[in-house]
Amino acid sequence: MATVHLTVPISEAAIRSLHVGDTVYLSGVIVTGRDAAHKYMVETFIRSPQIPERERPLYEELRRLLTGSAIYHCGPVVRRREDGRWEFVAAGPTTSIREEPYQADVIAHFGLRGVIGKGGMGQRTLEACQKYGAAYLHAVGGAATLIADTVKEVLTVYKKDEFGVPEAFWVIRVENLPLVVTMDSHGRSVHEEVRMISEGRLRQLVGIPI
């Protein structure tokens, strides 16, 4: 298991060099996005026959921001400073499996290299990581304040008024955000391995043949 420092934009080669269990310290500009953000990207941009003109500027900006970068499943607690700028008070990860219906399409369309969250994701996301060169990076749940310390700057926010603070696209600059690779681009998922081991053990306990 290796310790790797990655800076956005992240190359495909850098992601392909990662394996489950590696520690990653991530720096650079990333974007937060949860349920509303993923549903919006898929329905408005990816599966829509035509992007509405009023949404096109944000589409182009998201393409610029997400290509070679990471999306963070996070509903931050924020506050506004006296100078009018935002800052993160807490930035813990959200359970990622809720984005499983959307994540593979977002990886493919926007050229994501990293998906950050907690709890892991499913087979479609794992296959997209393998096909397009991405990785799932597990953030520590319960460390929201410590993670917020790695957010050095809030650059801007999109859709805050429409989606609300937790669901908005927050564009942030992080420095040495600590993460662990739990799904890699080689088809391995520690979450699936744990599920299979747990299921096998449960079957043993209740007397069901494996």
DSSP string, 40-66: HIIIIIIS-SS--GGGHHHHHHHHHHH
CA distance 147 to 91: 6
Residue ranges of domains in the chain: 3-206
Q: Please name the residue ranges forming H helices in the chain.
A: 12-16, 35-40, 56-66, 100-110, 123-132, 144-148, 160-163, 190-206
pLDDT score for 198? 46
The single residue of 5, 19, 38, 73 carrying the catalytic annotation is 38
| Amino acid identity at 8 | V
Mean pLDDT of the chain: 92
pLDDT score for 194? 58
User: Could you tell me which of 90, 94, 74 has the C-alpha nearest to residue 150?
Assistant: 90
pLDDT score for 140? 85
pLDDT score for 144? 82
Q: Tell me the per-residue pLDDT of 65-94, one tens digit each, with 9 for 90 and over.
A: 999 999 999 999 999 999 989 999 999 999
Mean of the pLDDT values across residues 110-139?
97
Residue 73 falls in the annotated catalytic set: no
Asked if 26 contacts 18 with a C-beta cutoff of 8 angstroms, the reply is no
CATH number of 3-206: 3.20.130.10
Residue 129 has pLDDT above 50, yes or no: yes
> Could you say which DSSP state residue 103 is in?
H
pLDDT score for 141? 76
Residue 136 has pLDDT above 50, yes or no: yes
Q: Please tell me the pTM assigned to this model.
A: 0.91
Q: Tell me the per-residue pLDDT of 17-63, one tens digit each, with 9 for 90 and over.
A: 999 999 999 999 999 999 999 999 999 999 999 999 999 999 999 99
Q: What CA–CA distances, in Å, run from 156 to 13, 81, 164, 171, 176?
A: 29, 14, 14, 5, 20
